[in-house]
Structure 1
Amino acid sequence: MITFGIMTLSMDSENSYIDEIARHAQSCEMECFRFIPTSINPHSLQVQGKRFDPIGLQWVDSEFAIPTILYDRCFYGDDEHSKQCIPIVSWLKSRNDITFLGYGLPNKLDLYETLKNSVLSAYLPPSQLVSNCSIVLKELAIKKKLILKPINGSQGYGIYYIKKNEKTYHVKTEKQKNIISRIFPNETKLIQWLQTLIKQHKYLLQPYLELSNDELQPFDIRILLQKDEHGSWVERGKGIRKGNTGGILSNLSAGGSVIDFPSWSQTLPTAKYDYICYELEYIITNLPNLLEKEFMPLFELGVDIGVAKNGSIWILDVNSKPGRKVLFQTQPELKETLYQAPLLYGKYLSQTDLKERKRYYEKTLSH
């Protein structure tokens, strides 16, 4: 029987989703395990984790060999535990006897540098690394409004909106579902704050795009793409994420809400709806293949698309470890499909000769 392992940084992470995958494992002729990367014994290569008991329908403590198919759901932070896990996962990715469903994507800057020379370049907000404060001040003098994003960020954490007024500077962010706003009286005070910020993390600078609806709520389109049981990319579904009025984020973790795509599309003029659908189809048809030409194989992608007030379409983010809340809330009939998808693709991988696939992509071992 195929051994299917799910890796997380905590045994309390994504429990409902992982439990449902495990319940479907036996029907896919798989035995399901879950563990934390640091629970691998480097000498015996045995893992202390949990095995799903398909009879009792529960997880039981177990020691087992590293599963042959791995689903990586590790979300890294700046904490010590993350720093311990990253090299272990990179080591696992280098092993020829283990296959990951997906090998992840690099940071936002590397992703931008790759896609800006592709057929999707027109959909990318111009981005540059913030190496010093003068870059931010120069762009503010021209554009008046900017967005700063951490290059390794996810779920909207650490994103800042900066606006240059006549004499003052307005900075806004969202933390724990609250909008936090601050006025700096002059350039000197802004520089002091910026210097502290960019010492802590690497940031990207982008122009501020008017991506809010008529109620001044930031919104975007979240599309979930996955590979099916034949290894082909398919769109599982899409929905609309709306943020707080006056906010800068539509992320659900920042207090956003969702509406289904058909309901939202009914509010649009027919010509605009047709145009948006055409653009979305062009993006999702090209994006996965472009990424897999440059980076290691992927299993799923969460693609966030912004629609500006002037009608322009923007790729805001591409995530190789997407959540499913948008689809669970707007298309609950997809739940069974989404629970089985990792297992069916894992089964496909186990029946495919992957040596050439792995060798071709070994130039990148991104976490």
Structure 2
Amino acid sequence: MAVKKGLVGVMTTRRPGTRPFSESRFLRELSQAARLVGVQLVVFSPLDISWGHGTVLGFTHKKGVGWQARQYPVPRVVYDRLFPSRGRWQLYFSQVARMRRTFRVTMMGRGLHGKWQMYRIIRRYEDLRPYLPETRLGSVQSLASLLSKYETVFVKPVFGSGGKGIACVRRWRGGYVVKRVGRPRLRATSLAGVVPALGGVSRRQLVQQGLKLNHLQGSTFDIRSIVQKNGDGQWQISGKAVRVGRRGKITSKLHTGGRAYSVPSVLQRCFSERAEAIEAELESLAIRVAEVMDKHAGPLCDLGLDMGVDVEGKVWLIEVNSKPGRKVFLQIGDREARQRAVRTLMEYAK
């Protein structure tokens, strides 16, 4: 990418405080990586653009000094780390659209339009279809149909991240058990009792086949892979790690108490002589999915893929995230992977 005036922008959501953005550590690391490749990183909110002057209130980081604020020209290359609340999403969207039109901004990536879009795109490809759990738009009929086929079914919001709003419905002793993130477990004797226990089922949700994923220390695990475009615009895997959920939790998210481990060690423990072949399949799947999503929903530069391996050793694609976190690499002590994931972004931006 051609960076004008040596500036790369990172677009964030405004919040109260003297440093009005989150992800401070990640952004500080991005700033350091930017200097190494010869550009300057400016953190800003699209709500702070001065349209008449073509400037924006931006924050830059200086070692030993910290974050400093002043007016900068609106960067022409921008990396999107916006996470607005539902009530302010439209406001941010309109400002970003205006910014792109007015200043001809090149976006390094973009947010995906929900889990249903991801599923429909990937399902078009015959070679990728076997990796997808059966998934339908939410309705009582979809829920009933999948529960007649599978012992466990997940209900997920079409839009959302961090495991929020996910529920698990499991057939149990002639009835059902419903578990929702952050809620007590409920039991229902019939499907009519399941729906209110879920808080309703609508087309804003997905109903998805539950997978019999492999276990580590009594808890299911998945694999998070960070896939990025490098300085040549080619997709590469910058790092990967296993996330193990807390016992009894329905997700493996780290902020709900999950733990992280290195991929080779866990696969070797669970699958012994098949471990290398499974890891190779996970890597090839990650690159293939990134290429497909970039073609149909791009331009993209940075994806987090959540994949699972079931008790039979079959690989599954669970989710694709266009604004992935990198905390998992800190938990396994893989500083090299975290630094590579940060540096690769700036090499691509340049």
Asked if Structure 1 and Structure 2 have the same fold, meaning a TM-score greater than 0.5 normalized by the shorter chain, the answer is yes
Q: What are the residue-to-residue correspondences of 1:207-356 with 2, within 5 Å?
A: 207-213=209-215, 215-330=217-332, 331-347=334-350
Secondary structure of 1:344 counterpart? helix
Q: Which runs of 5+ in 2 are unaligned?
A: 15-19
Where does residue 181 of structure 1 map in the other structure?
185
Contact 1:218–1:247 (CA under 8 A) maintained in structure 2: no
Q: Does residue 39 in structure 1 map to residue 43 in structure 2?
A: no
Secondary structure of 1:198 counterpart? coil
Q: Does residue 115 in structure 1 map to residue 119 in structure 2?
A: no
CA distance in 1, matches of 2:346, 2:65: 17
Where does residue 195 of structure 2 map in the other structure?
191
| Deviation, structure 1 residue 341 | 2.2
Secondary structure of 1:302 counterpart? strand
Against the structure 1 CA distance between its residues 55 and 142, is the aligned structure 2 distance closer, same or farther, given a 3 Å change threshold? closer
Where does residue 362 of structure 1 map in the other structure?
none
Against the structure 1 CA distance between its residues 335 and 223, is the aligned structure 2 distance closer, same or farther, given a 3 Å change threshold? closer
Aligned-pair Cα RMSD in Å: 2.3
Contact 2:146–2:208 (CA under 8 A) maintained in structure 1: no
Where does residue 17 of structure 2 map in the other structure?
none
CA distance in 1, matches of 2:63, 2:195: 61
Where does residue 50 of structure 1 map in the other structure?
59
Contact 1:148–1:204 (CA under 8 A) maintained in structure 2: yes
Deviation sequence 1:115-164 (CA, Å, 0-9, x none): 1121211101111101x323212322332421111111212111110023
Against the structure 1 CA distance between its residues 139 and 26, is the aligned structure 2 distance closer, same or farther, given a 3 Å change threshold? closer
| Deviation, structure 1 residue 214 | 5.0
CA distance in 1, matches of 2:27, 2:80: 11
Q: Does residue 142 in structure 1 map to residue 142 in structure 2?
A: no
Deviation sequence 1:80-131 (CA, Å, 0-9, x none): 233321222234445672111112322111111111121211101111101x
Where does residue 83 of structure 2 map in the other structure?
75
CA distance in 1, matches of 2:316, 2:25: 32
Secondary structure of 1:180 counterpart? coil
Contact 2:226–2:341 (CA under 8 A) maintained in structure 1: no
| Partner of residue 29 from structure 1, selected from 24, 38, 43 | 38
CA distance in 2, matches of 1:36, 1:291: 27
Where does residue 17 of structure 1 map in the other structure?
26
CA distance in 1, matches of 2:36, 2:241: 30
Contact 1:174–1:254 (CA under 8 A) maintained in structure 2: no
CA distance in 1, matches of 2:147, 2:172: 10
Q: What are the residue-to-residue correspondences of 1:146-157 with 2, within 5 Å?
A: 146-157=153-164
Contact 2:237–2:287 (CA under 8 A) maintained in structure 1: no
Q: Does residue 170 in structure 1 map to residue 173 in structure 2?
A: no
Where does residue 68 of structure 2 map in the other structure?
60
1:51 aligned partner, one-letter code:
T
Against the structure 1 CA distance between its residues 265 and 308, is the aligned structure 2 distance closer, same or farther, given a 3 Å change threshold? closer
Against the structure 1 CA distance between its residues 55 and 208, is the aligned structure 2 distance closer, same or farther, given a 3 Å change threshold? closer
Where does residue 166 of structure 2 map in the other structure?
159
| Deviation, structure 1 residue 42 | 4.1
Q: Which runs of 5+ in 1 are unaligned?
A: 348-367
CA distance in 2, matches of 1:50, 1:96: 19
Against the structure 1 CA distance between its residues 144 and 92, is the aligned structure 2 distance closer, same or farther, given a 3 Å change threshold? same
TM-score normalised per structure 1: 0.85
CA distance in 2, matches of 1:310, 1:93: 48
| Deviation, structure 1 residue 45 | 3.8
CA distance in 2, matches of 1:138, 1:122: 20
CA distance in 2, matches of 1:44, 1:4: 19
Contact 2:241–2:260 (CA under 8 A) maintained in structure 1: yes
CA distance in 1, matches of 2:325, 2:209: 26
Where does residue 87 of structure 1 map in the other structure?
94
1:225 aligned partner, one-letter code:
V
